[in-house]
Amino acid sequence: MQGNKARTKGLRCQVCTGCGLCPGVVRENGRERIHILTEDGLGTQGLSLKNAGNLRLIATDIGTTTIAMELLSEDGTVEDSFACLNPQAKYGADVLSRVLAAEDPEKRKEMQSMVKSALARGAERFLKCLKDGEKPLVVIAANTVMSYLLLGHDPKELGHAPFTATHLSGGEFELELDGDMCPGDTQAAAPQAGDRFVHCMVLPGFSAFVGADLFAGAIACKMAEKSEIQLLVDLGTNGEILLGNCDLILATATAAGPAFEGGPAKGTFGSDLVRLVARLLEEGILDETGLLSEPYFTKGIRIGNVLLTKEAIRSLQVAKAAIQAGISVLLEQYGIAPEEISRVALGGGFGYFLDPADAVRIGLLPASLEGKAVSGGNTALAGAKRFGACLLAKEGTSADVIQDSLPGRVEVINLAEQKAFSGKYLAAMAFKPVP
């Protein structure tokens, strides 16, 4: 869905899949190119990536839905980008479906090969930009299931209680290039002789539900470098939350469902759904319990080209309650009030377009955080970029940079084990501002 923000801030979604609803979609050779959301308010632009080893950084985010890669220049600017849909979607749109499919060793091997092939296509595209003597270095951020599948680990333990994760340290491997051009991209070039392998580094994760994408987000926010306490909220089907500073980071995740990705109201992006609900609350058409007034109770209300039904509203209500309760638990565990947070980074395409005032109006964020919210953009890519800059600037190993990127302590909070969560969740169901 288009809107004022789409015209002022660029593309509507974190990536474009060719739906045609957003402005700015570029067509080349009769096909839509997938775009990557790179702008953020975290100050990751302008990093120096000069290094004695003539390495060129490729920051990469492997998501459940999409794979995004950026080739970075010495001054930290994006020289070229590549993105595609994650081909593992053949085995399901969500991580649980892929965990189940991976019980078959052959399917698990195929899923690994699928992603490596996509990465190879991106790397091959970027080789044409490199000067003589330059070599690519790929730094990868991914959720835990995607990391497991990429590195060839059996993700079975991630699909059932107690949801332990024994492979959280990341890893390194040599990506073999096959020389094929990206389909439909006539500018891509096959690798030069001797460039058959590209070194790749996968960042570590925190837990089964809080993966390397959030580790990268913490790096993007400089949580381990600042004494000020920050909140990072990455809103998707799995809502992930970090709260912390250089002394301590608390991490958690909560099942938000499809509301923030527009699933309940087809054709409506999540931030627009929040905006519309906030508008209905202001006009008295929707009450705090989530009920539409007559004559809209049964069939919903149409606003523009969007039909907002009670089912869509309920889905958002459940999702925002989970996030609000998760934030509340972390604040309580940290022993601070919301006003003690210095900055809130809203990750992903949802956070990029979300109006903090609307988030406060429906109770998604505490009211005291409205003026502290910034768009984090793709925090996984931003963190991979910053990690790569630190790695290229130091003579130490990747383990040294990982250690420097972590605060004094990291604790993962399992909300299912928190007695206070259920009560906070029920209280958070109301569409009303919270202090």
| Distance, CA of 80 to CA of 70 (rounded, Å) | 6
Tell me what pLDDT residue 36 has.
57
Higher pLDDT among residues 71 and 188, named by residue: 71
Tell me the domain boundaries of the chain.
28-221, 223-380+411-427
| Distance, CA of 374 to CA of 356 (rounded, Å) | 9
**pTM for the whole structure:** 0.84
Asked if the domains at 28-221 and 223-380+411-427 fall in one CATH topology, the answer is yes
Strands (E), 263-336: 301-303, 306-308
Class of domain 28-221: alpha beta
Mean per-residue pLDDT for 310-328?
Answer: 92
Tell me what pLDDT residue 98 has.
95
Indicate the pairing of strand 249-255 with strand 238-244: antiparallel
Q: In the CATH scheme, what is the code of domain 223-380+411-427?
A: 3.30.420
Q: What are phi and psi of 156, to 5 degrees?
A: -55, -40
Token pair in block for residue 322: 């989970």
The residue to which tokens 């794979």 are assigned: 67
Strands (E), 277-420: 301-303, 306-308, 343-347, 373-377, 410-412
What's the chain's average pLDDT? Answer: 84
**CA distance readout (Å), 32 to 20, 26, 291, 363, 382:** 9, 6, 40, 37, 24
Q: Which distant-in-sequence residues (6+ apart) come within 8 Å of 418 by Cβ?
A: 329
First-to-last C-alpha distance (Å) of the chain: 31
For residue range 99-110, list pLDDT tens digits in order: 999 999 999 999
> If you write DSSP's letter for every residue of 102-149 in order, what string do you get?
TTSHHHHHHHHHHHHHHHHHHHHHHHTTPPTT-EEEEEEEE-HHHHHH
3-state percent helix, strand, coil for the chain, nearest multiple of 5: 35, 20, 40
Mean per-residue pLDDT for 265-269?
Answer: 61
